[in-house]
Amino acid sequence: MLGAYHFVDATSVEAAKAEARHFADVLDQAGGAKALDLPPVMDYENNPGNLSKTLISAVALAFLLELERLIGRKPTIYTGNALAANFNASLSGYPLWIARCSDTRVPSDTVTWKR
């Protein structure tokens, strides 16, 4: 199955929108998001700007909304268990994919998502 993801390292809402526009452009060059079997993925796994929880969610939401507006398809969020705990309810409408690099720790800190 064919999919694509973008590793977000934006530290502001405007930078997140710019990253989403770049991702949409790259997708267009590769045949468009509709050519993918899987929804495009926002990979948000670190916090390079030491952002607050509020700003982490704002950056993520800005990226997701801009990307969805540009490609007409709802993206998925890919993140680690610890960072997912920083996301607020504004992101709960997006599918969540938790990175699981250990077979001993089950993801548990994702209070925004019920499943």
Position with higher pLDDT, 14 vs 48: 14
At 78-104, the pLDDT tens digits run 998 788 888 999 999 999 988 877 665
Candidates 3.90.1150.10, 3.40.50.300, 3.20.20.80, 3.30.470.20; correct CATH number of 5-99? 3.20.20.80
3-state secondary structure the chain: CCCCEEECCCCCHHHHHHHHHHHHHHHHHCCCHHHCCCCCEEECCCCCCCCCHHHHHHHHHHHHHHHHHHHCCCCEEEEEHHHHCCCCHHHCCCCEEEECCCCCCCCCCCCCCCC
What mean pLDDT do residues 68-80 have?
94
Position 85 scores a pLDDT of: 85
At 8-19, the pLDDT tens digits run 999 999 999 999
**Residue 6 pLDDT > 80:** yes
